[in-house]
């Protein structure tokens, strides 16, 4: 005799899906926002949140485009991931640039700061001063 199965509740995807579809966010962007901003993200203004959702991955791509692996770090076998934060202003300037999650290697962290000071000129510009937090990845292919 067939047993009746009670339908299992489905995860509430409507909020998640519309969030992603409406803002064009990919799963990595959502993960970066959750991990780098945490609860602080909710304290940001609407324009800031919208800018971050729409542009964080592009800012990361632009940064990686300018990233040059420090030869000394490569020679020493140093690789890893660090994270930075800075304020991006509507005129395109940045202020308050600092490492918030170090890679464990000064050469890499210093290089990240240097790279941001070169790459920021190509970042999209927000309508209001916005706190940006991104990861920078260094990998040695062995």
Per-residue pLDDT of the chain (142 residues; tens, 9 = 90+): 444 444 444 444 334 443 443 445 789 899 999 999 999 999 999 999 999 999 999 999 999 999 999 999 989 999 999 999 999 999 999 999 999 999 999 999 999 999 999 999 999 999 999 999 999 999 887 6
pLDDT the model gives residue 126: 98
**Would residue 18 count as lying in a domain?**
no
**Number of domains composing the chain:** 1
**Would residue 78 count as lying in a domain?**
yes
pLDDT the model gives residue 6: 41
**Would residue 12 count as lying in a domain?**
no
Indicate the DSSP class of residue 31. H
**Would residue 36 count as lying in a domain?**
yes
Q: The domain that contains 77 carries what CATH number?
A: 3.30.1150
Please state the pTM of the whole predicted model: 0.81
Question: Residues 52, 33: contact at Cβ < 8 Å?
Answer: yes
Range of the domain at 125: 24-138
pLDDT the model gives residue 141: 77
Dihedral pair phi/psi, residue 79, rounded to 5°: -145, 165
- For the stretch 68-85, pLDDT in tens is 999 999 899 999 999 999
Give me the helices (H) in the chain, please. 13-23, 27-36, 46-66, 71-75, 106-119
**Would residue 52 count as lying in a domain?**
yes
**Would residue 7 count as lying in a domain?**
no
**Would residue 126 count as lying in a domain?**
yes
Q: Is the dihedral of CA 110, 59, 124, 23 positive or negative?
A: negative
pLDDT the model gives residue 123: 98
**Would residue 58 count as lying in a domain?**
yes
């Amino acid at each position: 005799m067939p047993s009746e199965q009670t339908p299992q509740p489905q995860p509430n995807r409507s909020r998640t899906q519309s969030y992603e579809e409406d803002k064009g966010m990919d799963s990595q962007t959502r993960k970066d926002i959750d991990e780098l901003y945490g609860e602080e993200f909710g304290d940001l203004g609407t324009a800031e949140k919208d800018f971050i959702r729409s542009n964080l991955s592009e800012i990361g791509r632009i940064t990686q485009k300018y990233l040059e692996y420090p030869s000394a770090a490569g020679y020493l076998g140093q690789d890893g991931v660090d994270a930075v934060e800075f304020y991006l202003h509507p005129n395109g300037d940045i202020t308050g640039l600092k490492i918030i999650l170090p890679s464990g290697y000064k050469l890499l962290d210093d290089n990240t700061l240097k790279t941001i000071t070169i790459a920021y000129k190509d970042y999209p510009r927000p309508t209001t001063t916005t706190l940006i937090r991104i990861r920078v990845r260094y990998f040695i292919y062995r």
